[in-house]
Structure 1
């Protein structure tokens, strides 16, 4: 048996297509992967957790963290965490959409940095997408650069963490193509904001995903409601 890599990466793995591809890229980059998943009161929390566990099995990840962050439902202000706010189904909104969860990626990266320091990891992977995303302010190169600096200033001198964002400038079609190229089990991923049994096909996330498959001339393997 080959010995495990001595370089470790913590992968933030939601169970969605982007974070799953980012985790496969981390594996191809030669890292031993430790996966972290956040249950933050999102509508599809159970389905995303199932996707996360399936993908960890696919990647043969033995060490994983499932972190509960209950306060997002207290804060509300997002259609993902406040059931009184409807998930929009009329296409991408102008400006920052109501599905944006306040500073979610900043909080995720901060918690992951604590895990990375404990595990003596050299890198953290996150599947943020700037150009083809929904206009979230916490998915940009500038934000990642600034939070990387803050994390390394606020940790031990011996801790030096690089945040890797391999998808940040890809379109959804390029993400689908890359995932197919790397044999990523897309049938185990989940992107829908609304539903847990069959994807709705009309929320922002489903639209972006379906459009990506369409432009990549590929068929999405997950079940959708008849539209």
Structure 2
């Protein structure tokens, strides 16, 4: 059976990408990163719940402590407040420096070890928060690089099935595939009830609203 490594944060985008991989006939190897993010424990719970629902046998939980050491992001530095007013311009302070590049590099090593030929990541370009490592251009570039830097017998395709979708389209696609979005977690700030006001919560709630659907996870503010 063909294998795919899925980078699975526990958020709705990476979760949908993983269900798409399963729907396309791949045996999934799930990879999750604990990198000192504010909602690390809640995201890990989401990852484990989703792996159980997908009946994933092979999974990796990778710790990357250095993101906390370098700081520079509101997600990993408790001295930087997570924005809640939705008026940031440019690359937001929640951007974690080159996070997806590092994630993809580690996932590539796992894919090469596991003889997987696909690597799924739930990046979204058009309706994302403006992160430079979520673009189609970046993914194409790093896909070339990883195949240049691996064995001649290794041929990995990075698949980004959501990259050009809007959040509402992601919600609709998830509903179509019976993805349990109530198991996912998107909030940047809170682990018990989603804050409802950070950029990630705003994007998620807006996606559900435009899809004429109700988000089942608990919120402090809606």
- 1:226: Cα distance to partner? 3.9
- 1:92: Cα distance to partner? 4.5
The alignment partner of 1:37 has SS state of strand
Contact 1:15 1:49 in 2 (8 A): yes
Corresponding residue number in structure 2 for 1:168 = 163
Q: Does 1:53 align with 2:35?
A: no
The alignment partner of 1:156 has SS state of coil
Contact 2:197 2:221 in 1 (8 A): no
**Are residues 92 and 155 of structure 1, via their aligned partners in 2, closer, same or farther at CA, if it must alter by over 3 Å?**
farther
Q: Does 1:205 align with 2:200?
A: yes
Corresponding residue number in structure 2 for 1:140 = 135
Computed over aligned residues only, the root mean square deviation of the Cα atoms, in angstroms, reads: 0.6
The alignment partner of 1:129 has SS state of coil
The alignment partner of 2:169 has SS state of helix
Corresponding residue number in structure 1 for 2:92 = 97
Q: CA separation in 1, counterparts of 2:168 and 2:67?
A: 31
TM-score by length of 1: 0.97
Q: Does 1:151 align with 2:146?
A: yes
Q: CA separation in 1, counterparts of 2:18 and 2:150?
A: 24
Corresponding residue number in structure 1 for 2:27 = 32
Q: Does 1:184 align with 2:194?
A: no
Contact 2:12 2:184 in 1 (8 A): yes
Runs of 4+ in 1 over 6 A off after TM superposition: none
Contact 1:92 1:134 in 2 (8 A): no
Superposed counterparts of 1:2-21, under 5 Å: 6-21=1-16
Q: Does 1:88 align with 2:83?
A: yes
Q: Structure 2 stretches of 5 or more lacking a match?
A: none
TM-score by length of 2: 0.99
The alignment partner of 2:119 has SS state of strand
